[in-house]
Structure 1
Amino acid sequence: MSDPSLVEVSGLYPRTFIVDEARRTLTAIRASIGNDRAASVDLTSGVIAKSIVDSVASRWGLSPTRVINATGVILHTNLGRAPLSEDAANAARRAALGYSDLEYDIETAGRGSRHAHVSSLLSTVTGAQAGIAVNNNAAAALLALSTLAGHGGDVIVSRSEAVEIGGGFRVPDVMAQSGAKLVDVGTTNRTYARDYESAIGPNTAAILKVHRSNFAISGFVHEDPLTDIVAVAKRHNIPLIHDLGSGCLVDMSVYGVKHEPTVQESINAGAHLTLFSGDKLLGGPQAGIVVGEAELVGRVSRHPLARAVRIDKMTLAALNATLRSYVRGVATDELPTLRMMAVTLDELDDVAKQWSLEIESEVSDGRTAIGGGSAPGQTLPTRRLMISAEILAETIAEQMRSHSPPVIGRIEDERFYIDPRTVLPEERGIVTEALASIAKSAKLRES
């Protein structure tokens, strides 16, 4: 316990934590020796002390750990999807550090609604009559279905839209959880408005349209326009719920990505309720957003389940700031997700070439994925760095992850790549430092 590294860490964590980790580490070393693996175990005191320190930091340090996304996947689900804008992060921090008018009406001194902080903004940017936010889009879907069909009502869904998204989340499962009964229509590749109309009966509570935001069907396919299906719903006085999933507010084609249906298009087509995520193409915090007709949005917000899935004050503040970027017309300038899509190839080439000065490498063409269950199959051109030094790709990846903060790249065809498109401008210098560190280590081994 007298090793300098252990003395230093003892000022950060209680001594009992460090002693416990020291015992675990020594027990593991003894087990290795007992398993005839002593030759592979470094028993020098400095190495053992470092192992203890690393174990303490891993077990008791701050978490989640900040990482640099150099994978070439913009909305990387495992890395937290959309990074927040500076305004959104500051708004969340202000909400966290003190009190706020979360559910307080300053003018009347009475109780207010947390939905008031985003409802008018959502109406402004989408054209909907009203809007609310909950903690994620799966919750939004569950809440909407529970409100409109939770009494055992039938909900009509195209067979091609009873989808599964990440984590095993399936539309049929959430529908069953809500109390609704699924009625699937059409076929996997072709569904018509008349299919929905033929399935309507006395127990029909809603029609659900689900945008296939994480996969695509091509070839001999047909899908009637949303307006035709809305017309069916309105003829029978049945609400239509449109789950957009990734849900964008801008035309993605301006960034070179195939057009994705926007929330505004859904509202203009007549959807009664439109659901979408906050942390995908919107570029904000994790949230599920419900917009649409005021009467239906009001019913959804008053459902008992709404309290169980309500949004917290920090996320609400960040979402408010994100939406204000759209209202002010500066979303592409302020939101990192949209900035990554908009950055030019010339700038990416310059960054990659600057990195190449640090280590034996090559700059080559590549493709950046949108990711996050958004714009399926769509990629953007990029210029990326391939490390060509005589080091195994797995070894380079491990060394980059060992940097502080870790730099997460990508292995393809046994080569390690880093894509500057997904690295925030203020983090490019960190990648430079990590590459320089690897190059220095390689030279020391050679000498």
Structure 2
Amino acid sequence: TTNKTRLSDYERAVGEMTGALLRVHPSNYVIRGFTEQASLAELIELGQRVDVPVIDDIGSGALADLAPLGLTDEPMARDSLRAGADVVLFSGDKLLGGPQCGIAVGKRKYIERLMKHPLARALRVDKLTLAALHATLKLYRDPAQAMARVPLLALASTSLENLANRAQRLAPQLEACAAIASAEVIEDTACLGGGSVPTQELPTRCIALRPVDGSVNQLAQALRTGQHAVFGRIQQDRLLLDLRTVFPKQDAELIEAVQALSR
């Protein structure tokens, strides 16, 4: 059926022209209810039985375990490789936190075939992308270092206490700006976005701004187009500044950006 793909569906589809078995993780959506899918272990067993490689496209490319942050069910490349997938595909950005690119890892004979494909030269990344990816991957040698220095992971792992303390300190400073009528600390939730963990959220603290003059939309536009661009989201006629998206070292720039609105 439309939302159910069993192992038997793969078995019926395999033929002399089958080049690979492909499993694709639904990175940015979730299907619930009347649904079923073949497990990776089942596909690997079938691939070995019919001598066809198994390709596992895990999407967002998580290399660090995000379960301690409360983000679960996101596949990891190492788990797919250990399970026996022949090739694992994932993104270099998103949860990995590096440059935008596609990554293929797996058994040497299949990776070499990919590298020899006529399109490989046209699709290969440039040296700047490789340099950025290399610098990012080096951080993952030490998981603690990766969690502290990869920007996405650092923001996602910021403690709620840290966010709350900063919000309480920043709110009165923002409210003192001439263009702001009120700045209120509110509890909210944040999504990682970027085509990953679509239904899971992290607790956060936001500062809700109301302008002295003009609309909230005008306030949002003015902050977006300022010298220090600030992006917020509009909710209930207020502009929310989510501190989970702001590094502590950027707090002063945030205040300067709002102060600049009245100059």
Instruction: Calculate the TM-score normalised by the size of structure 2.
Output: 0.92
C-alpha separation between the residues in 2 aligned to 1:245 and 1:220?
23
SS of structure 2 residue aligned to 1:347: helix
Give the whole-Å Cα distance in 2 for the aligned partners of 1:424 and 1:346.
14
Cα distance in 1 between the residues matched to 2:123 and 2:153? 28
151, 167, 171: which one aligns with 1:356 = 171
Q: Which amino acid aligns with 1:331?
A: A
CA offset at residue 426 of structure 1?
Answer: 2.5
Contact 2:27–2:58 (CA<8 Å) still a contact in 1? Answer: yes
Q: Matches of 1:426 and 1:303 in 2, distance apart?
A: 46
Paired residues for 1:132-211 under 5 Å: 187-211=1-25
Q: 1:225 aligns with which of 25, 39, 51?
A: 39
- TM-score normalised to structure 1 length: 0.55
Residue 369 of structure 1 pairs with residue 191 of structure 2: yes
Preserved contact between residue 228 and residue 257 of structure 2 (Cα < 8 Å) = no
> For residue 344 of structure 1, what is the aligned residue in structure 2?
159
Does the 8 Å CA contact 2:210/2:216 hold for their aligned counterparts?
no
Report the CA distance between 1:389 and its aligned residue: 4.2
The amino acid of 1:420's aligned partner reads: L
What is the aligned-residue RMSD (CA, Å)? 1.4
Maintained 8 Å contact 1:385/1:419: yes
User: Are 2:81 and 1:259 aligned?
Assistant: no
Number of the residue aligned with 1:418: 241
Equivalent residue pairs, number: 254
- In the TM superposition, what is the alpha-carbon distance from 1:362 to its structure 2 partner? 0.7
Q: Name the CA distance, whole Å, in 1 between partners of 2:72 and 2:156.
A: 12
Which among 223, 237, 244 is matched to residue 400 of structure 1? Answer: 223
Which residue of structure 2 lines up, in the alignment, with residue 381 of structure 1? 203
Q: Cα deviations across residues 417-437 of structure 1 (Å, max 9, x unaligned)?
A: 000111133222111112233
Tell me, yes or no, if structure 1 residue 334 matches structure 2 residue 157.
Answer: no
Q: Deviations over 1:57-106 (max 9, x none)?
A: xxxxxxxxxxxxxxxxxxxxxxxxxxxxxxxxxxxxxxxxxxxxxxxxxx
Question: Contact 1:211–1:245 (CA<8 Å) still a contact in 2?
Answer: yes
Of Structure 1 and Structure 2, the greater helix share is in 1
Once the two structures are superposed, what CA deviation does each residue of 1:339-397 show, in whole Å capped at 9, x if it has no partner? 11100111111222222112121101111111011111221110101013444211210
Q: Which runs of 5+ in 1 are unaligned?
A: 1-186, 442-447
1:313 to 113, 122, 127: 127
Tell me the SS of whatever aligns to 1:214. Answer: coil
Structure-2 separation of matches of 1:277 and 1:233: 24
SS of match in other structure, 1:388: strand
CA contact (8 A) 1:247 1:263 kept: yes
C-alpha distance in 1, partners of 2:60/2:69? 16
CA contact (8 A) 1:355 1:435 kept: no
Deviation at 1:321, TM superposition (A): 1.2
Preserved contact between residue 252 and residue 259 of structure 1 (Cα < 8 Å): no
Structure 2: runs of 5 or more not aligned: 176-181
* Fraction of identical pairs, as percent: 41
SS at match of 2:19: strand
What amino acid maps onto 2:242 in structure 1?
Answer: D
Aligned counterpart, 2:60: 246
How far the C-alpha of 1:303 sits from its partner, in A, is 1.3
Alpha carbons 1:325, 1:334 under 8 Å: kept: yes
Separation (CA, whole Å) in 2 of partners of 1:311 and 1:296: 19
C-alpha deviations, 1:220-258, integer Å up to 9, x for none?
Answer: 222232111111111000111111111111222111112
What CA distance in whole angstroms lies between the structure 2 residues aligned with 1:218 and 1:259? 14
Q: Considering only CA atoms, is the larger Rg found in Structure 1 or Structure 2?
A: 1
For residues 152 and 36 of structure 2, what CA distance do their matches in structure 1 show?
Answer: 32
Which residue in 2 is equivalent to 1:7?
Answer: none
Cα pair 1:363 1:386 within 8 Å, conserved: yes
CA contact (8 A) 1:280 1:374 kept: yes
Partner amino acid, structure 1, of 2:202 = L
Matching residue of 1:75 = none
CA distance in 2, matches of 1:386, 1:411: 9
User: Structure 1: how far apart are the matches of 2:67 and 2:216?
Assistant: 35
Question: Hey, what's the Cα distance between the residues in 2 that align with 1:286 and 1:395?
Answer: 32
The answer as to 2:251 corresponding to 1:428 is yes
Match of 1:324 among 138, 143, 146: 138
